[in-house]
Structure 1
Amino acid sequence: MEYIELLSVDGVSTFKKQKIASKIHEPLGDYSEPFQVRQLFFREFDEHRVFDWHCAPRAQFIFYLAGEVKITTSSGEQHTFRAGDILLAKDLCGKGHVSETLTPGRAVIAVLDHNPADGRQ
């Protein structure tokens, strides 16, 4: 399984493809190691909304269920997220990114724990 990480390198936001490794093999499927989650939000969004330059408010996974959102990084990269895509927003400093909702949609936001037991964020 893959996700796109949105991170800040020297104050400039950029995208990086990441893989989630399957570590636990069960009869119902393969599982990753658990991620510690502090909060979970359900979000709905309208089309044609532009959220000017901003940073992620906290490290959070966004699981897109429906709709399309285009994100432009301060390095100039663009990526359109659609149903089934996973984003890990971690650009917590610098100029940040611009988000534009292209079509109405829904997403689940999982806020990561700041002090996970295994040291991951």
Structure 2
Amino acid sequence: MIRAYLLYTGADGHSHFKRGRISEGALVQADHTLFKETAANSSFDWHNDPIPQYVITLTGILEFSTKTGETFIIEPGDILLATDHTGSGHKWRLLNDQPWKRIYVIYKENEDTHFIADEDQ
């Protein structure tokens, strides 16, 4: 199972998250792929994600927070499904002394992301 977190804008206009996974073997049509590295000990204050994308963490451990006080931890191998394009947004900070190396996979609008939420969510 590949652990994933869906970050989305709720009906209340705030960012929220659900823990789950991506269906194994799922094919998703992608538009672009971007590779990025951010220095260790970095953080990024309140923002929204600009486009529908998977963010696949290769190195670094991050804490994400929403304005409603929700938090979750992303570790190497986890996937963030970023869909909170509007609303109050989220912020993140690196928790360890590693850089955040990641791959962005930008998928087509309205594409099935194959995200399956955990039953306890």
TM-score scaled by structure 2? 0.81
SS in 1 for 2:60: strand
Unaligned residue ranges in structure 2 (runs of 5+)? 114-121
In the alignment of these two chains, the number of paired residues is 109
Paired AA for residue 96 in structure 1? G
Q: CA RMSD in A?
A: 1.6
Which structure has the larger Rg over C-alpha atoms?
A: 1
Q: Output aligned runs, 1:59-98, within 5 Å.
A: 59-98=52-91
**Amino-acid identity (%):** 31
1:101-116 residue pairs with structure 2 within 5 A?
101-102=94-95, 103=97, 104-116=99-111
Q: Gaps spanning 5+ residues in structure 1: where?
A: 23-30
Structure scoring higher RCO (CA < 8 A, sep ≥ 6) equals 2
Q: 2:23 aligns with which of 16, 21, 24?
A: 21
TM-score by length of 1: 0.81
